[in-house]
Structure 1
Amino acid sequence: MEPPLKFRHLRTFMEVARLKSVIRAAESLHVSQPAVTKTIRELEEMLDARLLEREGRGIRLTRTGEVFLRHAGATITALRQAMDSVSREVANAAPPLRIGALPTVSARIMPQAMLSFLAEETGSIIKIVTGDNAVLLEQLRLGELDLVVGRLAAPEKMKGFSFEHLYSEHVVFAVRASHPLLAAGVDVLDRLGDFPVLMPTRHSIIRPVVEQFLIAHGIAALPVQIETVSDSFGRAFLRRSDAVWIISEGVVAGDIADNSLAVLPLDMTGTSGPVGLTMRAESLPSLPLMLLMQAIRTAAQGKAEAAGI
């Protein structure tokens, strides 16, 4: 008789698939590396199929593994929803809302959206997580979030998700208000390498857009780069240095408006990307979540109209 499929099999497989590493999955799950290897082997024996294979120093999914990943994610999501439903029934409470938002969305859209939503008096417990787009999508896939308000990811990253466009946002090169590159007659791109540059991290969704822009303008490398997705560090560092911060416009919109930061005069129209609502394709939003989504749409529309978009 074959051993029964258990939650730990699915959770371990999902974590190895997410991190592309048995060692890192073991650290994330707080178990030993042999335990992770044993669990994956048990799962493959139950399915009579290879789910993972080595690729260089890492691990990648086989075709069978990719198929199983979609079903495993849906199963874990269903279990989480079932547990939430029982907890709500016991507590006689409204369903919790778990929202992931990019820093730019958290700063520009979510405050007004939350004010509108709270006026509905649904009684829902709300959790808002701010972070990198890729991380938020993984949390959405695992059922840890119900909705992500962020940039549209690459097609291969959007499998199993639905996306609703809200507005488009481009990348800017931000500096302190009295930066030398703002002086008249300065060739910004020619002198960019003279200053430290804050770059989006390698796994951030706007990193390829930034790299394409730099390459298209003949900038193959920058001498001093600092990779960060921290808006608090970016603001603090720019106010104390001549660094250039390459970031989505929404993150620094308030700083530009109060003249504490400025944008370098570059044509960034080619870096525009859609921002919107991402959900799991199979999920059915609760009434409170539908009300919050509408509040986000209204707030995003208001920002777009104010910006003349």
Structure 2
Amino acid sequence: MLMENRIKFRHLQTFIEVARQKSVGKAAIILNISQPAVTKTIRELEEILGVKLFEKEGRGIRLGRIGEVFLRHAGASVASVLEGVESVQQAVTRSSPPVRIGALPTVSARIMPDAIQLFLNEKVAGDIKIVTGENSVLLEQLRKSELDLVVGRLAAPEKMSGLSFEHLYSEQVIFAVRAGHPLLSTTQLRLDDLKNYTILMPTKASVIRPFVDRFLLANGIPELPVQIETVSDSFGRAFVRSTDAVWIISTGVVSNDLRDNRMTVLPIDTRETRGAVGLTTRADSVQNASLAILSQSIRAAAEQLT
């Protein structure tokens, strides 16, 4: 049996208390167990490690050099376990703070409904707050600790300072139109044909705008005559369904509309606009149990897409 599998929590707890009190008797009183039980536990731990942890000092004992090294690790381990117990207790007793999630529109429509349902299935008592907005705004709120997690596209390197990103999946930008749109009947669609229609564009501050600009420039379209910048998925959805407008948007935002045949995608190859979608957190943040469970739920929901 591996050494780490034989060491129990009681070994560490007893060792730490004896080291703190420099006395088996005093440790026994604090731990509310007998002195022989304390002595036996320390001997078991020393036998497992194959070293002597304590040395006699007058009528008492003190840590040896190896014992001092082990104490640093044992203390951190016990503190981590106790912190985990407290976090779980908070999650199940509704005493933990709300979990605050920032989600881009593409994620709000495609990932979060399933993720929240998975989270609720765990019977965790924590409240959830979901904020949707532009990537730059959400990341700034994350930096200010106004959000605990942002789910969306990977930002540019210069905007990721102090943040950590975990990749979940990739998605691309598409040109979405209503069912029955005139361009769908065009035998050989050219990007130049877009100039005859109103175009809904992501705003300049949005994370996908650079992808869109590069794509259009690479295909010989430096400017579109009539365009409306918006990050409102509700406006975009209503406007596209009732007009001949073309919506340049991430797949996830309109995934339900595409599935239900309320919208369709123009046959334009946009594979070069693919980008990473994932979880962004503060690099120094520590997740409580509620946030950790919600993060796991988001990962599970994202796996269903692949």
Give TM-score, length-normalised by structure 1: 0.68
| Cross-structure match for 1:68 | none
Tell me, in whole angstroms, the C-alpha distance in 2 between the residues paired with 1:190 and 1:117.
46
| Cross-structure match for 2:111 | 109
| Cross-structure match for 1:70 | none
Tell me, in whole angstroms, the C-alpha distance in 2 between the residues paired with 1:256 and 1:160.
37
| Cross-structure match for 1:12 | none
Tell me, in whole angstroms, the C-alpha distance in 2 between the residues paired with 1:93 and 1:155.
37
Give the Å deviation of 1:121. 2.1
| Cross-structure match for 1:264 | 266
| Cross-structure match for 1:296 | 298
| Cross-structure match for 1:211 | 213
Deviation string for 1:131-161 (max 9, x for gaps)?
1111110110111000000100000100000
In structure 2, do the counterparts of structure 1 residues 185 and 280 end up closer, same or farther at CA, with 3 Å as the change threshold? Answer: same
Give the Å deviation of 1:104. 1.5
Worse-matched range after superposition: 192-201 or 176-185:
176-185
Give the Å deviation of 1:162. 0.4
Q: 1:278 aligned to 2:263? A: no
SS of corresponding position for 1:252: helix
Tell me, in whole angstroms, the C-alpha distance in 1 between the residues paired with 2:286 and 2:96.
16
Aligned residues: 216
| Cross-structure match for 1:233 | 235
Cα pair 1:102 1:131 within 8 Å, conserved: yes
Deviation string for 1:70-90 (max 9, x for gaps)?
xxxxxxxxxxxxxxx9xx8xx
Cα pair 2:167 2:279 within 8 Å, conserved: yes
The two structures, once aligned, show a CA RMSD in angstroms of 1.5
Cα pair 1:94 1:122 within 8 Å, conserved: no
Give the Å deviation of 1:96. 1.6
Tell me, in whole angstroms, the C-alpha distance in 1 between the residues paired with 2:180 and 2:131.
34
SS of corresponding position for 1:303: coil
Tell me, in whole angstroms, the C-alpha distance in 2 between the residues paired with 1:217 and 1:257.
28
| Cross-structure match for 1:220 | 222
Q: How does 1:1-309 map to 2 (within 5 A)?
A: 93-304=95-306
Tell me, in whole angstroms, the C-alpha distance in 2 between the residues paired with 1:109 and 1:119.
16
Q: Which runs of 4+ in 1 moved over 3 A?
A: none
Cα pair 2:168 2:277 within 8 Å, conserved: yes
Cα pair 1:188 1:264 within 8 Å, conserved: no
In structure 2, do the counterparts of structure 1 residues 92 and 193 end up closer, same or farther at CA, with 3 Å as the change threshold? Answer: closer
Q: Percent identity?
A: 63
Residue 194 of structure 2 aligns to which amino acid in structure 1?
A: L
Tell me, in whole angstroms, the C-alpha distance in 2 between the residues paired with 1:253 and 1:98.
24
SS of corresponding position for 1:106: helix
Give the Å deviation of 1:122. 2.3
SS of corresponding position for 2:305: helix
Deviation string for 1:260-299 (max 9, x for gaps)?
1110001111000000000000011111111110010000
Give TM-score, length-normalised by structure 2: 0.68
| Cross-structure match for 2:33 | none
| Cross-structure match for 1:50 | none
Tell me, in whole angstroms, the C-alpha distance in 2 between the residues paired with 1:236 and 1:95.
36
Give unpaired runs (5+ residues) of structure 1.
1-84, 305-309
Deviation string for 1:23-60 (max 9, x for gaps)?
xxxxxxxxxxxxxxxxxxxxxxxxxxxxxxxxxxxxxx
- Structure (1 or 2) with the larger CA radius of gyration: 2
Residue 131 of structure 1 aligns to which amino acid in structure 2?
A: G
Give the Å deviation of 1:108. 1.3
Deviation string for 1:213-245 (max 9, x for gaps)?
000000011100100011111111111211100
Give the Å deviation of 1:199. 0.3
SS of corresponding position for 1:123: coil
Deviation string for 1:82-130 (max 9, x for gaps)?
xxx9xx8xx9712320000111111111111111111222211110111
Tell me, in whole angstroms, the C-alpha distance in 2 between the residues paired with 1:188 and 1:290.
47
Tell me, in whole angstroms, the C-alpha distance in 1 between the residues paired with 2:300 and 2:268.
31
Tell me, in whole angstroms, the C-alpha distance in 2 between the residues paired with 1:149 and 1:108.
11
Residue 303 of structure 1 aligns to which amino acid in structure 2?
A: L
Give unpaired runs (5+ residues) of structure 2.
1-86
